[in-house]
Amino acid sequence: MKRYIYLLLGIGGLLGAALACNPVGGGGQAATAEALALSIEQTATAAAEANINAEALVQTAQAEATARSQQIDATLAAQEAQAGEAAAATATAIAPILAELPTYGVDPSEGQPGWIHPPLTLDVEGYLQYDYANYFIGTLVSDFVVAADITWDTTTGLAGCGFVLRSDGNEDAINEYMVIASRGGNGTVFFITQTNGSFFRQQNIPAGRVDPAFEWQNNTTNRIAVVARGDTFTLYTNGTRIGEVTDSTYNRGFVAMVALSESGRTVCEFDNAWLWSLD
C-alpha cells in the first residue's frame, strides 16, 4: 500500500515538472498539469487515509475480539467451577443414601435420586382426617425406595405417620397406597389400598414384635422405609425388614409424606427423607 502511495506521488511530481517545462497551449496546459498533479496527490492522500482507517478498524476489531474471547473464557471457567461445585454438593448429599440402600437389599448402582426432602411437619385433627405433602410432587415413579425419620405425637394409638405411594393425587376420589406406622400394639404398620377416596384393603404388620428397636411411645423417632418393585412392597423399620405385601392395584404415581388422625390430634415430623427411583 505504501509503495502504491509513493508511486502515485512520484508520478504526480513528474507530470507536474514535465508539463511545466514543455508548455503547449499556454496557461491551459499548465492549469491542466496542476489539476492532474493535485488530483493524483489527493488520490494518494485518500488512499493513505483509507489505509490508516483500515488498519485502525482491524486493530479495533482485534481488540474487541480479544476482549470478547477473554470474557467467554472467564464465563466458561465460572460455569465449569459452578458445575464442579454442584456435582460435589450432589455427591455429598446422596452419599448417605448410597450407604443406606444396601440395608434394603438395593444395589447403589441401580437407579438414581428422585428427591431429597427438607424437614417437614404435618398436623391434622379430627375423625379419620389425613394430610400429605411433598415439595417434589411432580416426580412420578413405579419402582422406588423411600425412607424417612418419623417422630410422632398422636392422641390415640391408631393414628400414625408414613407415606402415600403411587398416588394419582385426585382429591375428590384419590387412588393410592398408604403405609402408616402407628403406636398401637406397641408398634404396628398398616399397608392400606385406597380406591376412589375410600379404604379398600388394609394389611397389618406388627413392627414392634419384629423390630426390637421400634419406639411406640409419643415423641419418639423411627426410621421407616419402603421398597416397591412391581406388585411387591417390602417394609422396614429402623433397618429391620418387618414384612412384605403384594398388591397390583396401582403401578405408578407420586410419593409423599402423610399424617393420619383416627381421632384427636396427630403431629408427624419427617426428617432425612428421600426417594430413590428404581425405574
Rounded to two decimals, the pTM is: 0.70
pLDDT at 19 over 80: no
Closest CA to 158 of 142, 182, 123: 182
Q: Supply the pLDDT for residue 64.
A: 77
pLDDT at 98 over 70: yes
Overall average pLDDT of the 15-26 stretch: 43
**Residue 5's pLDDT band (cuts 50, 70, 90):** very low
Overall average pLDDT of the 154-158 stretch: 87
Q: How far apart are CA 235 and CA 92, in angstroms?
A: 27
At 49-85, the pLDDT tens digits run: 666 666 777 677 777 778 777 778 777 776 766 666 6
At 28-41, the pLDDT tens digits run: 566 666 666 666 66
Q: How far apart are CA 208 and CA 260, in angstroms?
A: 19
At 214-241, the pLDDT tens digits run: 999 999 999 999 999 999 999 999 999 9
CB 225 within 8 A of CB 233: no
Residue 172, CA distances (Å) to 5, 181, 192, 196, 202 in order: 89, 25, 18, 8, 21
At 175-220, the pLDDT tens digits run: 999 999 999 999 999 999 999 988 888 999 999 999 999 999 999 9
Q: Supply the pLDDT for residue 83.
A: 61
Percentage of the chain exceeding pLDDT 90: 61
Closest CA to 218 of 242, 184, 261: 184
In the numeric block, which cell numbers belong to residue 137? 410432587
pLDDT at 23 over 50: no
Dihedral sign for Cα atoms in the order 103, 104, 110, 111: negative
CB 149 within 8 A of CB 271: yes
For the chain, the domains span: 2-76, 110-277
Closest CA to 275 of 117, 110, 104, 146: 146
Q: How far apart are CA 257 and CA 150, in angstroms?
A: 10
Kindly report the average pLDDT of the chain as a whole number.
84
CATH (residue range 110-277): 2.60.120.560
